[in-house]
Amino acid sequence: MRVAHRLDDIARQVDAQLVGDADCIISSISVLQDAEPGSISFLSNRKYRKYLKTTKASAVVLGPEFLDDCPTNALVSDNPYLTFAKAAQLMTVSPAKRAGRHLSAIVAPSAQIDISASIGPGAVIEDNAVIGARVGIGAGCVIGEGCQIGDDSRLVANVTLCHEVTIGQRVLIHPGAVIGSDGFGLANDDGRWVKVPQLGSVSIGDDVEIGANTTIDRGAIKDTVIEDGVKLDNQIQIAHNVKIGAHTAIAACVGVAGSTRIGKHCTLAGGVGVVGHLDIADNVHFSAQTLVTRSFSEPGYFSGNLPAVPNSVWRKTIARIRQLEETTQRVKRLEKQCRQAHCDKTDQDD
Amino acid sequence: MRVAHRLDDIARQVDAQLVGDADCIISSISVLQDAEPGSISFLSNRKYRKYLKTTKASAVVLGPEFLDDCPTNALVSDNPYLTFAKAAQLMTVSPAKRAGRHLSAIVAPSAQIDISASIGPGAVIEDNAVIGARVGIGAGCVIGEGCQIGDDSRLVANVTLCHEVTIGQRVLIHPGAVIGSDGFGLANDDGRWVKVPQLGSVSIGDDVEIGANTTIDRGAIKDTVIEDGVKLDNQIQIAHNVKIGAHTAIAACVGVAGSTRIGKHCTLAGGVGVVGHLDIADNVHFSAQTLVTRSFSEPGYFSGNLPAVPNSVWRKTIARIRQLEETTQRVKRLEKQCRQAHCDKTDQDD
Amino acid sequence: MRVAHRLDDIARQVDAQLVGDADCIISSISVLQDAEPGSISFLSNRKYRKYLKTTKASAVVLGPEFLDDCPTNALVSDNPYLTFAKAAQLMTVSPAKRAGRHLSAIVAPSAQIDISASIGPGAVIEDNAVIGARVGIGAGCVIGEGCQIGDDSRLVANVTLCHEVTIGQRVLIHPGAVIGSDGFGLANDDGRWVKVPQLGSVSIGDDVEIGANTTIDRGAIKDTVIEDGVKLDNQIQIAHNVKIGAHTAIAACVGVAGSTRIGKHCTLAGGVGVVGHLDIADNVHFSAQTLVTRSFSEPGYFSGNLPAVPNSVWRKTIARIRQLEETTQRVKRLEKQCRQAHCDKTDQDD
């Protein structure tokens, strides 16, 4: 649901500089290229700059460097994406879920559910679970025995919490996420795998967001820990005993193997893989599809991926990579020949 | 359920050339190496050619180049895999789901459900959802508020549609798929992440297939769009604002990051990663595990992956790759030395 | 639930050598660095050796090489991780699920359910399913028509089995797993994709473990097969017609494409991708994020991944990789020049 605002009201609340008509009424949100009058848009990625001059939006959030090209009212900000985020939050009101349990919800008598919480159709709450104030448990969610969910958290639908998982406040968990499944602990007994009981659990801090179909395994002995403010995209795999530091953001399709610790304020781009038992410092950043095989003790930006090129070119490149050892040896031989030729000090010609 | 057919009847319906006994009755489908009499098989991948001569199938769909080796009746086709697909469809009848709602289904009074639709056990249909004719909603599916599902579509089981998702006709969605979860929109506010409301939705065209545990996020402002005839395998992640062009097929474990547009008739092999804000033209093809970091404006086949080799070889190769900058510099120095040797035409000095 | 044991009793049952106080009572399990008196810990990864000398555990399972540094009672073993696994199993008792159906479970009248099985809240059992003795079907699971589940298997919660899937005994399946979804079988008809009916199913052996949100597609004609003792981590994709040999272990985020056969006792580390129609022998091992594009007929350890380095270094490396063809040609020219210089018979020696 959108709520209309005067532009100067928006500017004041998001702390941006208004250039233009303070009385303009903004009632919707748009992208630059398809904007309609009455909407607010934004420009933060230079790739979309080409759409600014012809936008029909009634206001645009942008950085000062684009102000001259803006054909309409502007909200100027040094961090236009953040300013836009705040404006969009201001203009969007999620209809509150009605408190109470849907008749079809299945709630164990021993569960403690705050009277202001909403339990959706077909949701299952097992023994001794504790559900805080204003929590929303969507349709089809399963909350295992002894789980605790802090105030104002929301599990959208079909989320599974295994037993004794702890969730902080204001946590948002998208459909299909699984939290507290057994870690992949196996000992090899002469060719057969013996299961190592997974006796820890998962502890999720406050203000965490967890994407659709993301999985977070329980610890083997102690808990797997996701600290406050961590944001996890879809289809991420967090193995047992991992610790993710506060305010780290991880994009989709990342896998973090067991017992690795990732610092605070890190970013992992899509498809990154991190092997087990590593220590990654705060403020470390990895680019898409990078494989992380060692600890990093200093902040920095690290990569190891090979972008796509035409297949015909790539086939030659692979062949040359396969010959690299040989090629390097050939260079060494040439250097030796040249050195000897020089040392010999006899003239030679081509 | 299989349905028996005369071979000439099959040939006619799938438009293949019959070589052999028109009266032969075909009642099952088999692979070449384990075929039993009465079954039809096919040969399209040359790797399986070795099984042709000894097959016990009563008929084989194959290309003309294999006809001489065929020990039984043949259906000759220039596209044997397609011909086989049609024959298998002809011989397979899915038992129709009974129309109506299972007693345990939980349907909001405001939802509009066609009388011919089937709503399975424990399925949840939320407010104002619209379900078309002959739609099948399997056990445990959750259909969010205001979703629309076109005629003859089928959601197998435990599928989650978040609010206001639109699904076309004849769409098939496999278990665990999540459509319409929030995009990963975050603005950084001095180290903390601020959520950007995700106000768009997802629009799925006709004749789309979506694999198990695949996730498709809703758009930030406008819809994420999957056009007609797109086929998505399992565990694919489609981020917000992405557009996938008609008749593109994407294999398992692919991730496409936000706001990227992929053209029509593309193929992405398994494990491909595509970064955000790119434009990929029609008829572009990427091989397995390729990372796509730039736009491609022309059709073509692109790669960037490194196939497995023995680890001992690979360790040397990595070391040489790490020295590539140095090795290239050494080659330059050698070239300079050789040039000087030539230019000096007499003795030279280093 | 933990069960207290005398240390000599544990030693005897896990077949380890006790060094220290046989009467010591062990009542909990800990990691070395946070151990409390009364607990047992273990040391198997050398990275954690630094915590041994100061541990407060009352006993430590370790290899003989660490015995001298152990400040407390020891259980000495040549495979300390296995010995610890057995000790932890000994000390952990899972409370038995009550046999019987939860009132909210939805069970087709034609399903055959052993009286000792437990069917959880909201679970759906469809027509003609057969559920063995002491099987646990957790909340929200969907068991499709005609599935068979062997004795003592457990589906934790929200697991989906499509129709006619066969599961062996003592199989453990974690939440969100989908077994028996359609394989990605498509034939191209002049730009449009035609579905190939997926007529096989999935056959899972005994003692298999399947991780959260893992997907296993049904075969096109015959079954996809997972043999006894296979262990699959989270978010793995197994395509149609694949066969995984007994006692193979696959880490998270691996994808195996259609019709590939993987041998027994293999290990695939996280993020590995295996293309279709390959044959991988027994005892083959792939390191993390390796792409497998050809068959391997001999045991061995194979790799093809590029570990992360600083991005500034990596950008130069990529540039040099792109020039590899040219660089190799330059080396060839240099060699030719040097050879000619030699042939010219001015003296130089090699």
pLDDT digits (tens, 9 = 90+) for A176-221: 999 999 999 999 999 999 999 999 999 999 999 999 999 999 999 9
Please work out, in degrees rounded to the nearest 5, the angle formed at the alpha carbon of residue B252 by the alpha carbons of B246 and B258.
60
Q: How many CA atoms lie within 13 A of C219 on its CB side?
A: 23
Q: How many CA atoms lie within 13 A of B146 on its CB side?
A: 8
Nearest to A70 by CA among A129, A17, A13, A149: A17
pTM for the whole structure:
0.95
Q: How many CA atoms lie within 13 A of C20 on its CB side?
A: 21
Query: Tokens 């992949």 correspond to what residue?
Result: A184
| Minimal C-alpha gap between B20 and chain A (Å) | 42
Active site residues of A: 240
Q: Which is it for the CA torsion B6, B8, B14, B16, positive or negative?
A: positive
For helices C324-343 and A311-322, what crossing angle results, to 10°?
Answer: 50
Instruction: Point out the residue among A158, A182, A305 whose CB comes nearest to the CB of C158.
Output: A158
Phi and psi torsions of A232, nearest 5°? -115, 125
Q: Which residues have C-beta within 8 Å of that of residue B190, sequence separation ≥ 6?
A: none
d(CA C317, CA A106): 58
The pLDDT value recorded for residue A344 is: 54
Mutation pick from B174, B290, B322, B333 vs chain C, by most beta carbons of C within 10 Å, is B174
Query: Tokens 């990372």 correspond to what residue?
Result: B291
Structure tokens at C77: 């073993």
Structure tokens at C39: 């607990």
Q: Work out the widest C-alpha separation in chain C, in whole angstroms.
A: 98
d(CA B107, CA B119): 9
Structure tokens at B193: 């992440």
Residue A166's H or E segment, with its range, is strand A166-167
The pLDDT value recorded for residue A39 is: 95
Rounded to whole angstroms, what are the CA distances from C265 to A193, B310, C227, C231?
A: 10, 18, 11, 10
d(CA C157, CA C142): 9
d(CA A103, CA A92): 29
Burial class of residue B3 (count of CB atoms within 10 Å of its CB; 0-12, 13-18, 19+): exposed
Interface B-C, measured as beta-carbon pairs within 8 A, has a size of 222
Instruction: Point out the residue among C139, C235, C338 whose CB comes nearest to the CB of A237.
Output: C235
Contact B167, B131 (CB under 8 A): no
Q: Which residues have C-beta within 8 Å of that of residue A1, sequence separation ≥ 6?
A: A92, A93, A94, A95
Contact list, B346 vs chain A (CB under 8 Å): 347
Cβ distance of A252 and B255 shorter than 8 Å: yes
Q: Which is it for the CA torsion A309, A311, A315, A316, positive or negative?
A: negative
| Minimal C-alpha gap between A8 and chain C (Å) | 43
Structure tokens at B207: 């004749």
What 3-state DSSP class applies to A195?
A: strand
Instruction: Point out the residue among B158, B187, B291 whose CB comes nearest to the CB of A308.
Output: B291
Contact list, B234 vs chain C (CB under 8 Å): 178, 181, 184, 215, 217, 237, 239
What 3-state DSSP class applies to C301?
A: strand
Structure tokens at B130: 């619209």
Contact list, A321 vs chain C (CB under 8 Å): 321, 324
Mutation pick from C14, C28, C235 vs chain A, by most beta carbons of A within 10 Å, is C235
Out of 3.40.50.620, 2.160.10.10, 1.10.600.10, 1.10.357.10, which CATH number does the structure's domain B100-302 have? 2.160.10.10
Residue B138's H or E segment, with its range, is none
pLDDT tens digits, B170-217: 999 999 999 999 999 999 999 999 999 999 999 999 999 999 999 999
The pLDDT value recorded for residue A2 is: 74
Active site residues of C: 240
The pLDDT value recorded for residue A346 is: 47
Tell me which chain C residue has its CA closest to the CA of residue A341. C348
Say yes or no to pLDDT of B158 above 80: yes
The pLDDT value recorded for residue C96 is: 66
Instruction: Point out the residue among B92, B104, B328 whose CB comes nearest to the CB of C106.
Output: B104
The pLDDT value recorded for residue C342 is: 65
Residue B109's H or E segment, with its range, is none
Mutation pick from B33, B314, B342 vs chain C, by most beta carbons of C within 10 Å, is B314
Cβ distance of A211 and B213 shorter than 8 Å: no
The pLDDT value recorded for residue C340 is: 78
Out of 3.40.50.1390, 3.40.1390.10, 3.90.1150.10, 3.90.220.20, which CATH number does the structure's domain A5-91 have? 3.40.1390.10
Structure tokens at A66: 């684009």
- Pairing state between β A25-26 and A5-6: antiparallel
- Pairing state between β C25-26 and C28-29: unpaired
The pLDDT value recorded for residue B255 is: 98
pLDDT tens digits, A250-271: 999 999 999 999 999 999 999 9
User: Tens place of pLDDT for every residue, chain C, 350 residues?
Assistant: 678 899 999 999 999 999 999 999 999 999 999 999 999 999 999 989 999 999 999 999 999 999 999 999 999 999 999 999 999 999 887 766 788 999 999 999 999 999 999 999 999 999 999 999 999 999 999 999 999 999 999 999 999 999 999 999 999 999 999 999 999 999 999 999 999 999 999 999 999 999 999 999 999 999 999 999 999 999 999 999 999 999 999 999 999 999 999 999 999 999 999 999 999 999 999 999 999 999 999 999 999 989 999 999 999 999 999 999 889 989 988 888 888 776 554 444 44
What 3-state DSSP class applies to B231?
A: strand
> How many helices (H) and strands (E) would you count in chain A?
4, 40
Cα Rg of chain A, angstroms: 28
Structure tokens at C348: 């130089």
Instruction: Point out the residue among B181, B304, B348 whose CB comes nearest to the CB of A174.
Output: B181
Say yes or no to pLDDT of B98 above 60: yes
Query: C131 forms bridges with which residues in the sheet?
Result: C113, C149
Contact A59, A24 (CB under 8 A): yes
Mutation pick from B128, B145, B195, B215 vs chain A, by most beta carbons of A within 10 Å, is B215
Question: Tell me, what amino acid is at C93?
Answer: V
Contact A73, A59 (CB under 8 A): yes
The pLDDT value recorded for residue B239 is: 98
Query: Tokens 């015959």 correspond to what residue?
Result: C222
DSSP assigned state of C183: P
Nearest to A209 by CA among A253, A154, A158, A162: A154
The pLDDT value recorded for residue A1 is: 64
The pLDDT value recorded for residue C349 is: 45
Tell me which chain A residue has its CA closest to the CA of residue C343. A350
Contact C39, C29 (CB under 8 A): yes
Instruction: List the catalytic residue out of B240, B265, B277, B342.
Output: B240
Helix ranges (H only) for chain C are 7-14, 80-91, 311-322, 324-343
Cβ distance of C307 and A293 shorter than 8 Å: yes
Nearest to B232 by CA among B267, B277, B180: B267
Tell me which chain B residue has its CA closest to the CA of residue A232. B184
Domain boundaries, chain B: 5-91, 100-302, 315-344
The pLDDT value recorded for residue C110 is: 97
d(CA A266, CA A301): 10
Nearest to C292 by CA among C315, C274, C270, C318: C274
Cβ distance of A308 and B316 shorter than 8 Å: no
Low-confidence ranges of chain A (pLDDT < 70): 1, 95-96, 342-350
Nearest to B232 by CA among B220, B218, B219, B216: B216
Contact list, A316 vs chain C (CB under 8 Å): 325
d(CA A331, CA B114): 75
Contact partners for chain A, using 3 or more CB pairs closer than 8 A, are B, C
Nearest to B215 by CA among B189, B253, B166, B186: B253
Q: How many CA atoms lie within 13 A of A6 on its CB side?
A: 6
**A173-189: burial string, b at 16+ Cβ within 10 Å, e else:** bbbbbbbbbbbbbbbbe
| Minimal C-alpha gap between A184 and chain B (Å) | 20
Phi and psi torsions of C70, nearest 5°? -85, 120
Q: Which residues have C-beta within 8 Å of that of residue B127, sequence separation ≥ 6?
A: B108, B110, B111, B145, B146
Cβ distance of A308 and B317 shorter than 8 Å: no
Tell me which chain A residue has its CA closest to the CA of residue B348. A347
d(CA C21, CA C7): 8
d(CA C283, CA A189): 15
Question: pLDDT grade, residue B96 (50/70/90)?
Answer: low
d(CA B188, CA B192): 6
